[in-house]
Structures are given as C-alpha cells and as structure tokens.
Amino acid sequence: MMQCVANGHEIVALANLKPPTGSGKDELDSFMYQTVGHDAIDFYADCMQLPLYRRDITGTAIAQGANYEVTPQDETEDLYVLLKEVLEKHPDVKGVSVGAILSSYQKVRVENVCDRLGLTSFAYLWQRDQKELLAEMASSGVNAILIKVAAMGLGPNDLGKTIGEMYPKLVQLNERYESHICGEGGEYETFTLDCPLFKKRIVV
C-alpha cells in the first residue's frame, strides 16, 4: 500500500478474507490468503482510519492450474464477492493493491477478479529483488513482526522479532538453503505493528 501512495494513489478502503466465523480455526491451508493473525486485522482499520470490509473464506483451491477461469466454490470467488461489495460502497474505486512478490498463482487470480470487476491490479512489489525489498521495508519505517515460522533455520525464538532484526538471519538462510528472504515460500508470516500509513501504532 505504501507503494500505491508513493505512486499517487489514494487508499479509501481495506478488504480482508478470513476463516469462517464460528469455525474455531485461526488459520486455513489457503493457496491464496494469509489467515494467521486475522483476529487482529480490525486494528488496521483503526490505525489507518479507513473502512474495513471482511468476508469468510468459503471456497477451497479447486482450480490449481497456471491460469484461472471462473470456478464455483474456488476460494478465488470469495475475493470476487468481497471486492464487488467494496465497489458497491465505493463506486469510485479504480484498483486493488496486491502484495504478491513471486507467486504467479496469486497474481493471476487477483488479476482475473480485477478484470471481471473493471479494476486495475497494482502489484508494485512484483518480482522485486527480495534482499533489496526487505531492507527497503525495514528502513522505510515498516515495523512488522514474525508471527509464524515454518522453515529450516527458523524457530520459536524468532517469533515477535521485527523484519529489521531478522534481516541478517534471513539473508544467511537464503544463502544456505535458498529460502525466500521475504517469506514467499511460506517460510514465515508477519503482522505489521506500525508503518508510515498508520495514524496510530499497535502495541503488543
């Protein structure tokens, strides 16, 4: 989102897909969406003073090919319904900020949804050098902490550390195991406590 603002766009709403209400699940095995940390997403709306639209993920990863066509019950369709709702409330919205760095699977599906709704998919991070990108994030005031680890060399002691604190270790693990510095292979997940777009910061 910071790149969207830097390129002259205005953020008018936030959207999030989460595990089904009442399911008792904090995390889903989704090919498309990060769900760990979803119970704290409301703080983002408060920190940015923007409306937040949320929807349960009811579908699964049915259409898993390189390309995507409309597939009933696929989790991609949950994104379509959510963004359609946002458009109904904010008809002037022209695009969607996409954080994809390396996953063509995610990028293709977001673009498919955007095309159907007449929106532009803004993927400013796409195929950026991950070492350079993570350093840029840390130095630009993004205070994001690790909330999940799932890779060789990462463990419980790394949880709660910022991306700036973890940067040397993540670079080292990339050199040793060819892991993704920005976690694009599911090596870790983060939650942002503060960034230049926040009017308040989250304290944990």
Reported pTM: 0.94
Confidence at residue 22, expressed as pLDDT on a 0 to 100 scale: 81
pLDDT at 62 over 90: yes
Does position 24 have pLDDT exceeding 80, yes or no? no
* Predicted pLDDT at 72: 97
- The pLDDT value given to residue 71: 98
| Strand pairing class (52-56; 95-97) | unpaired
In the chain, list all ranges with CATH 3.40.50.620.
2-122
- Tell me how many helices (H) and strands (E) the chain has: 6, 6
Q: Tokens 């458009």 label which residue?
A: 87
pLDDT of residue 165: 99
For the stretch 148-203, pLDDT in tens is 999 999 999 999 999 999 999 999 999 999 999 999 999 999 999 999 999 999 99
In the prediction, which pLDDT does 69 show?
97
Domain with CATH 3.90.1490.10 in the chain: 130-194
Q: Tokens 């532009």 appear where?
A: 120
User: Coil, strand, or helix at residue 37?
Assistant: coil
Give tens-digit pLDDT for 93-140.
999 999 999 999 999 999 999 999 999 999 999 999 999 999 999 999
CATH number of 130-194: 3.90.1490.10
Distance CA 146, CA 199 (A): 22
Instruction: Decide yes or no: CATH 3.90.550.10 for domain 2-122.
Output: no
**What 3-state class would DSSP assign to 5?**
helix
- With CA atoms as reference, report the closest residue to 182 among 195, 194, 171, 191: 171
Residue 195's pLDDT is what?
98
